[in-house]
Structure 1
Amino acid sequence: MGNTIRELRQKHGLTIAEVCDRTNISRGMLSKIENAQTATSLDTLAKLASALGVSLSTLFRNYNMPEGDAQLVKSGEGMEVVRRGTKRGHTYHLLAYDRGSTKLFEPFLIAMDDASEAFPTFEHPGVEFIYMLQGKIEYRHGQSTYLLEPGDALTFRGDIPHGPEKLIELPIVFLAIIYYAAPPVES
């Protein structure tokens, strides 16, 4: 809460002395409140909120909020992985890494630049989503083929054989996300 008070005070361009004058709180006490070195009453918090021009609930906006747990993979830093059947001219960059006991999804950035390569077929659990970024490709899923161009999206069951059929315009870059069904929760 102290951080919130300090941030609001600084955002409004107020000094500690100005807030103290508005609230009749000593500078030492306000400093201790901002640095989380003391507890304070709701009455004092209400005075601070008023002096900062916000509601009392605004002071509590970050109270008991869970820590963020985001994972950032900067451009070009995705872990390069080798998938079964991939050879020269193919790169797979994994864009997020599993951090728990259950794999929920795998996002890949896939680039292809070699038209002479024979392509494997893939089968895996879950659902796959492909979003084309660059180039043109004919992509097979089961007995059907689909022409994919930049901006196109294809979603399909992963347990049906699938994979590139024909590279039409190089280079080809697409995002492929495999979503795995969550395991059933035991009661």
Structure 2
Amino acid sequence: MNKDVSFKLNGEKIRELRRERGLSSTVLAEMIGVTPAYISQIERNLAEPSLSVFRKLATTLNVELLSLLEFEAPSEILITAEEETIVKTFPEAHAKYRLLSPPQLKNGEKPDMSVMLVEIAAKQTDYDEMVTHDFVEFCYVLEGCIEYRTGSRTYSLSEGDSIYLKANVPHFVYNPGTKEAKLLAVLGNIHPHVQKD
């Protein structure tokens, strides 16, 4: 069975763009050489236009071809839109966490990893003391600088640097800089620890 993401024309998007441009379905039909009834069918997702009509639609509406498509993914794949991301606070934590990956797949299963945007204010730690967790952690510094402090060492990282920690390594993160630090964190299976607020 093919599990690839599939694409189809988004008729509602075409209707929305047509109206934004002040075009009636009759005028749009005349511009691309089809009937108004056919435009209506396309906008209601009852007909799929030929490639040449598809190209004319994109050209007439002044958009990229791909912007008129939507994709369908199998249940093993879930796309999370920005407005669906979860802003999470943890007890005792000073950092802000935005969960970028979906909290669960369509079939209800938890993903094997989580992706977070972490923001730590200047001269602040993520926690007051070292924490230990049962999942691996990878962090990439997007902005600013941070220090990863473990029981035996301090690792200084600047923008573009990254660090990988195995599970159960005691650590905390400190921002020694004068501006907020932003990190992209990829964590092992954190989801048993995370619930929607």
Deviations 1:106-129 (A, max 9, x none): 5232335359xx942221122212
Match for residue 134 of structure 1 among 144, 160, 168: 144
Deviations 1:142-165 (A, max 9, x none): 53332233443222213222224x
Shift of 1:131: 3.4
How many residues align structurally?
161
Q: Say which one has the larger Rg.
A: 1
Shift in CA distance, 47/121, structure 1 to aligned 2, threshold 3 Å: closer
Give 1:185's aligned residue: none
Rounded to whole Å, the distance in 2 between the matches of 1:8 and 1:52 is 14
Kindly indicate whether residue 106 of structure 2 is the aligned counterpart of residue 96 of structure 1.
no
Kindly indicate whether residue 79 of structure 2 is the aligned counterpart of residue 72 of structure 1.
no
Kindly indicate whether residue 29 of structure 2 is the aligned counterpart of residue 19 of structure 1.
yes
Shift of 1:95: 0.4
Rounded to whole Å, the distance in 2 between the matches of 1:51 and 1:95 is 38
Rounded to whole Å, the distance in 2 between the matches of 1:123 and 1:143 is 14
Give 1:49's aligned residue: 53
Query: What TM-score, normalized to structure 2?
Result: 0.52
1:95 partner letter: R
1:134 partner letter: G
Shift in CA distance, 151/73, structure 1 to aligned 2, threshold 3 Å: farther
Rounded to whole Å, the distance in 2 between the matches of 1:106 and 1:181 is 10
Kindly indicate whether residue 120 of structure 2 is the aligned counterpart of residue 110 of structure 1.
yes
Which stretches in structure 1 are left out of the alignment for 5+ residues?
A: 183-187
Rounded to whole Å, the distance in 2 between the matches of 1:51 and 1:150 is 42
1:105 partner letter: S
1:140 partner letter: R
Match for residue 185 of structure 2 among 169, 177, 180: 177
Which stretches in structure 2 are left out of the alignment for 5+ residues?
A: 1-8, 59-64, 191-197
**Coordinate RMSD, CA, aligned:** 4.8
For the residue of structure 1 that corresponds to 2:89, the secondary structure is: strand
Do the aligned partners of 1:94 and 1:106 also contact (CA within 8 Å) in 2?
no
List aligned pairs for 1:140-159, cutoff 5 A.
140-141=149-150, 143-159=152-168
Give 1:30's aligned residue: 38
Question: Structure 1 runs of 4+ off > 6 angstroms?
Answer: 7-15
Do the aligned partners of 2:122 and 2:180 also contact (CA within 8 Å) in 1?
yes
Rounded to whole Å, the distance in 1 between the matches of 2:144 and 2:95 is 15
1:19 partner letter: A
Shift in CA distance, 173/20, structure 1 to aligned 2, threshold 3 Å: closer
Rounded to whole Å, the distance in 1 between the matches of 2:122 and 2:161 is 17
Deviations 1:88-117 (A, max 9, x none): xxx2212017632525315232335359xx
Query: What TM-score, normalized to structure 1?
Result: 0.54
